[in-house]
Amino acid sequence: MIILNNLSKNYLTPSGEMIALDHINLHVKPGEIYGVIGKSGAGKSTLIRCVNLLEKPSEGQVIVAGEDLTTLTPPELRAARRKIGMIFQHFNLLSSRTVFDNIALPLELLGKNKKEIAAIVNPLLELTGLTHKKKDYPQKLSGGQKQRVAIARALATEPRVLLSDEATSSLDPETTFTILDLLKNIRDRLNLTILLITHEMSVIKNCCDRVGLLHHGKLLEQNEVSEFFVHPKTDIAKKFIASSLSQSLPPPISELVLASAEENTHPVWRLRFIEKAATQPIISQLINQYNLRINILQANVEYIKKQAIGIMIIALDGEKNKLQQGMEYLQKLNVLVEVIGYVRNDIIPFA
C-alpha cells in the first residue's frame, strides 16, 4: 500500500549538506500497522512527511496505493493527499472551529454540502466517542480527546492510508493506550493501512505488526514486531528493546557481577525465550532433571501480538557438567542463553 523506493532526502544547511534520509526501502502492506522507531533526529519525521510529500524527497519514489506521488502535478497531488489521512503530535486542530466543524473541514474543502457533511461526521463522532463533545471548541478538550478529533478528521475523506506523526508522544501512558486501541480498532473496521513513527517502544509493542528501526537516516532493520524483540540484529535495536523490557540486573547486583569464574562463584545466565518455551515449566525442569539450584534475579514476561516473550536472569548452582547439560536443554527449546557473568557465593547464597 505504501512503497518507499530508494528514498533519500538531503538538506542544505550553512555547514554543508545534511543527509536526513539515506536510501530508504520500505513496504507497508495493506491493512498493516507499520511502526518506524528511532531516536529524535533519526529522520522519522522527515520520513513520514515524505509519504504525503509535505517534504519533497531528493531522490527515490513514494508509491501510495499504486500511484507514484513524486510524478504528480499539483492538482493530482492534492487529490492523492485526500486519500492519505494524517495525525500529528500536537493535534493541529483549528481553535476557531468546534469539534464537529474541525472534522468537517476536509469535507468542506471538497465542496460537500451540509447534509453530506453531517452524514459523514456524525458516524465518525460516534466511532471516536466524541458525540457529546461535538459543539465544544478544542480548547476545552483533553489531549486524548483532541487526538480523537484529529483521527476523526483524518478519516473523514475515507482514506486508505493513515500517517501518524508521533501521535501519542504528548499524551500520558494511559491515554496513549486508548489512542492505540482506537487505531487498531479503526484499522480492523476500515481495513486501513497505518504508518506511524514513534520514539516509544511501548507504541511498537502494543500496536504494530511490523517495525523498522531508523538511525541517522538509515533503516537499520525491519521485522515482525515479535521477531524484532527476540532477535534484534543491531546494537541500536538491542538498546531500544532493553529500554522497554527490563532485562538487566538491578544495579546493586549488577555492580557485583564478575566477568570470569573464580573460587566460590555461580554463573549468571540471561534467558530469552518466546513461543512455547515461554509457557513451559523450564525452571522446574532444570531443577528436577539436572539437579540445579536456581535463584531468579530478574524476570519479565511480556505479551507482544499475543505472543509471550520472556526474559529471565538467573544465578545457578550445580555440577559443571549438569550446568552444561541444562544449557543444552534450554537451547534445544529455542531459548537464547547468555552467560552474563559470575557472582560470589556470599552475595547470592544458595545454602
How many chain residues bind another protein (CB under 8 A)? 28
Among 34, 88, 229, 273, binds another protein (CB under 8 A): 88
Q: CA 309, CA 305: separation in Å to the nearest integer?
A: 10
Among 29, 140, 238, 293, binds another protein (CB under 8 A): 140
Site for another protein in 37-56 (CB under 8 A): 52, 54
Among 10, 58, 92, 131, binds another protein (CB under 8 A): 92
Q: CA 307, CA 205: separation in Å to the nearest integer?
A: 11
Q: Is 137 in the site for another protein (CB under 8 A)?
A: yes
Strand partners, 168: none
Rounded to 5 degrees, φ, ψ at 202 are -65, -30
Q: Is 100 in the site for another protein (CB under 8 A)?
A: no
Residue 131, classed as helix, strand or coil, is helix
Least spacing, CB of residue 105 vs another protein, in Å = 7
Distance from the first to the final alpha carbon of the chain: 60
Among 18, 30, 68, 79, binds another protein (CB under 8 A): 79
Which letter, b or e, does each residue of 125-149 get, where b requires 16 or more Cβ atoms within 10 Å of its Cβ?
A: bebbebeebbeebbeebebbbbbbb
Among 19, 65, 72, 105, binds another protein (CB under 8 A): 105
Among 108, 227, 275, 302, binds another protein (CB under 8 A): 108
If you ran DSSP here, which 8-state letter would residue 79 be given?
H
Q: CB of 240 within 8 A of CB of 37?
A: yes
Strand partners, 17: 12
Q: Is 72 in the site for another protein (CB under 8 A)?
A: no
Closer residue to another protein (CB): 88 or 342: 88
Contact residues for another protein, defined by CB under 8 A: 52, 54, 77-82, 84, 86, 88, 90, 92-97, 105-106, 108-109, 137-140, 157, 163
